[in-house]
Every structure is written in C-alpha cells, then in structure tokens.
Amino acid sequence: MPELPEVETIAQGLRPLLTHRTITGIPHLAPHLNPQGPNSLIEKLIGQQIQGVSRRGKLLFLDLSPTERIAFHLRMTGRLGMSPAGEPPGAHVHLLINLDNQSALYFQDQRKFGTFRHYTEQELNAWPFYSRMGPEPLSVGEEEFLGRVEGRRGRIKALLLNQEVVAGIGNIYADESLFRAAIHPATPASALSRPRITSLYHALQNVLREAITAGGSSIRDYRTAAGLVGTFQNAFQVYGRKDQPCLRCAESLRTTKVAGRTTCYCPTCQPEPVSG
C-alpha cells in the first residue's frame, strides 16, 4: 500500500504524538513478525524514550537513540495508528506499544506482509535493502537523477520501482509521474533523451508533493495516523482508470504489465517507443 507520500503522511501524523514519549509496555506482539524472539524485542524497548519519527523511502522509523531505532515497512496493507492504552487489539493488530501518557501505538496488517524490527545503526547498515537504497526523490538533484537513469538498461517504470535507483516510489506514483511526463512505461531508459528524463524528474517531484499535501492516496487500506483517508486518489490521472477517458486527450486508457505490475497509461499521450 503505502508509498512515499503515505509513509510521509503517517510519519508527520505520528511525530507529535510519539516524540518524547516513553515506552512502558508491549502488551501484544505477534510471534510470526518477531524472528528474534519476543523477549529480545521487549527488553530492547521497555523504558526507552522515543526521540523522533523519521522516514527513508517506504521505511518509517521510531528513533530511540542516535544508534537505535525501530523500522517499520508497511508493504501492502500495514497501518500504524494510536489507540487508548489497554484497548484490546482489533483484527490483524500485530504489535501494541504502550506509552507513558495512556496512549498506545498499534501496528495492524491484514495481509501480514509488513515487517518491523529493532535495529542498531550497525545492523541497519548491514541490511542491503536499507544500505543500497537510492536517494530520496524529493531531495535528489536533477543532475544526480539524470545520472541514475540516463543510458541504463531496463524499462523506465522498472527503474522507478527499483528502490536502489530512487527510494519510495511504488506502482501508483510510477504510473502517475510517467503519464505527466508523457513517457510510455515500457520505454527503455536508454531511449530517453536528457530533456525527457528531466521532465520525468519534475513530474515525479510534483506528483509526490501534491500527494503528500493531499494526505496520500487511499485505494483500500491506507489510513493516516489519525485513521483518516487520504484524498490524492481523487487526483489520479491514470492509476486505476483503465478504459476511462484520458483527461488530456479523451482516448481510452489501457493497461499492460511492466515489471510484473499492472500499468495504466494513455496510448496516445504516452506512445510506444519507436524501436522498442
């Protein structure tokens, strides 16, 4: 579910509620999500004060100290939110963290793809998914983005989805940014001129900024930290709009598969690359 704008929205919502709170208990912890053993995690967390909430790509961190944090990856259906302490976990709640102000942070995940783990900085840097992660798309400079995309083999959408190229893009924002840049998702990156990659860079930044402002996109499961739906789904131009008219040219939008993901595009505004 959550891509960069959704994780950022959740982080912004949790930050004022969690910063400087002390963890007083872990009343619920699903064993299947805790390979290190329950006592190991509980011992590491009880009594710790949360120093802040941060995000890197699609990872959300509870910062416990300069060298210790909890990393959450929400994958498809993960949610983070607050509930009154002592409230019994609802369906699919896999972690409950009691805090020193009678509130609790919960992690809920219907499909159980989501993960969380306590990391030291050393352990985090030894995690390839983290250490190999590309730059933040909203911070990366135009030149660096060009350098990471220009001339590479692979289709442009696959590169956008590759967290080592740029971190935090998923199926929605890949499709939306490619439509805005008028690039067919299956175009080999090597077939894109510098001006077209630059156009994609700006389209990507714009769509991510707008989505964060809208509180993210709620297709099914995503909710903000306060349990509210985002509204950027109302601004989708291609995602989920198969067979509906293109908002720019009225042509019927189509789907194809790129990088194993359903991909929605306009066959007129995003023409197939000439040579393939």
Question: Residue with structure tokens 């709009």?
Answer: 241
Select the span of 80-88, 198-206, 207-215, 252-260 touching DNA (CB under 7 A): 252-260
Question: Which residues lie closer than 8 Å to 110 by C-beta, 6 or more apart?
Answer: 77, 91, 92, 221
Report the alpha-carbon distance of residue 208 to residue 196 in Å, rounded: 18
Q: How far apart are CA 228 and CA 159, in angstroms?
A: 31
Nearer to DNA, 23 or 174 (CB): 174
Which is catalytic among the residues 21, 44, 58, 223? 58
Q: Rg of the Cα trace of the chain?
A: 20
Question: CA–CA separation, 93 vs 89, rounded Å?
Answer: 6
Q: Which of 259, 267, 268, 273 binds DNA (CB under 7 A)?
A: 259
Residue 110 or 199 having the CB closest to DNA = 110
- Nearer to DNA by Cβ, of 166 and 200: the residue is 166
- Could you say whether residue 261 binds DNA (CB under 7 A)? yes
126 contacts DNA (rule: CB under 7 A): no
Q: How far apart are the first and last CA of the chain?
A: 31
Member of 81, 170, 185, 215 binding DNA (CB under 7 A):
170
Quote the tokens at residue 179. Answer: 């439509």
**Contact residues for DNA, defined by CB under 7 A:** 1-3, 6, 57-58, 73, 75-76, 91-92, 110-113, 129, 153-155, 158, 161, 163, 170-172, 217-222, 257-262
> Residues at the annotated binding site for DNA?
92, 111, 152
